[in-house]
């Protein structure tokens, strides 16, 4: 495993507001932070890089710069352009400054890093970015050998083309990527066009999310069922219900259901997974 040293940054320590608390905490170790398929792909030639930096007290340009350094560090540690990227950000939707939240601020740094990495990105990597209960911005990036191509969902605006209402820099990720006969779905949630649907209804958001995953599978011509499924749930009160739904839908393909804030306050559930093509 390619292990990257901690990015150096100095930010004051602050206590997260209660509504951003989560039982799950990313620690910067891919074996514990990420689903099991990731480690399996390393044995087949994939390269993985990871880093983490304390940012819970960072605001404004300080947070954007910390994100820039973290993303650039892992991207430049790979041996080819990134295929799949994960980021876990403390207090992800907390208000920052200049009418932005922390996710929007992080995206400024993330986009800058994608533009300045030593590799030219042929397309935006697949991505997941959710909150967690720690104080570290954790970033993992993977590059895959062979031919890689991106897949978008016609029912969703490509995230990297979102309007300015989601921040001055759109989230730079594609909905899914296919490499080495493997379909990798990004963190997938109940967004239609570019807006969240079925607010306050976790059942309806779950069904919408499954519909998006089915669209991605069909577009990729995937043969296998979804596996290494990792589910993120915003509200602790929904964990039991979502776990039951996920066990019914994915059976043995389900790995974990995690209590974690998502990148928009209206989103209640998000799913990432892989399937054989």
CA distance 69 to 8: 9
CA distance 228 to 32: 13
Condensed to tens digits (0 to 9), the pLDDT of residues 2-47 reads: 555 444 444 644 444 444 445 899 999 999 999 999 999 998 999 9
- Counting the structural domains of the chain, the total is 1
Q: In CATH, what number is assigned to the domain containing residue 179?
A: 3.30.1330.40
Q: Tell me if 180 sits within 8 A of 44, measured CB to CB.
A: yes
Please state the pTM of the whole predicted model. 0.93
Angle, alpha carbons 192-195-261 (nearest 5°): 105
- Round the average pLDDT of the chain to a whole number and report it: 93
Condensed to tens digits (0 to 9), the pLDDT of residues 51-109 reads: 999 998 899 999 999 999 999 999 999 999 999 999 999 999 999 999 999 999 999 99
Sign of the dihedral through C-alpha 173, 261, 132, 233: negative
Q: Please state whether beta strands 254-259 and 195-196 pair in parallel, antiparallel, or not at all (unpaired).
A: unpaired
Domain that holds residue 21: 2-276
Our measurement of the distance from residue 246's CA atom to the centroid of its chain's CA atoms, rounded to an integer in Å, reads: 19
């Amino acid at each position: 495993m390619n292990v990257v040293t901690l990015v150096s940054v100095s930010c004051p320590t602050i206590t997260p507001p209660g509504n951003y608390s989560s039982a799950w905490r990313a620690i910067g170790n891919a074996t514990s932070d990420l689903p099991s398929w990731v480690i399996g792909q390393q044995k087949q030639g994939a390269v993985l890089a990871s880093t983490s930096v304390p940012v819970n007290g960072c605001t404004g340009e300080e947070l954007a710069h910390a994100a820039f350094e973290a993303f650039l560090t892992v991207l430049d540690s790979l041996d080819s352009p990134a295929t799949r990227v994960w980021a876990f950000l403390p207090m992800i939707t907390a208000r920052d400054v200049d009418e932005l939240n922390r996710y929007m601020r992080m995206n400024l740094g993330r986009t800058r890093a994608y533009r300045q990495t030593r590799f030219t990105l042929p397309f935006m990597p697949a991505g997941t970015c959710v909150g967690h209960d720690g104080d570290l911005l954790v970033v993992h990036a993977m590059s895959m050998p062979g031919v890689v191509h991106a897949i978008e969902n016609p029912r969703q605006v490509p995230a990297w083309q979102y309007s300015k209402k989601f921040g001055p820099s759109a989230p730079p990720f594609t909905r899914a990527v296919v490499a080495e006969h493997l379909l990798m779905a990004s963190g997938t949630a109940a967004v239609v066009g570019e807006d969240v649907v079925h607010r306050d209804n976790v059942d309806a958001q779950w069904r919408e999310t499954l519909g998006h995953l089915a669209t991605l599978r069909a577009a990729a011509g995937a043969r296998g069922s979804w596996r290494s499924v990792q589910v993120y749930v915003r509200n602790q009160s929904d964990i039991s219900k979502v776990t039951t739904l996920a066990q019914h839908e994915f059976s043995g393909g389900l790995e974990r259901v995690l209590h974690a804030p998502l990148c928009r306050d209206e989103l209640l559930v998000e799913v990432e997974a892989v399937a054989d093509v």
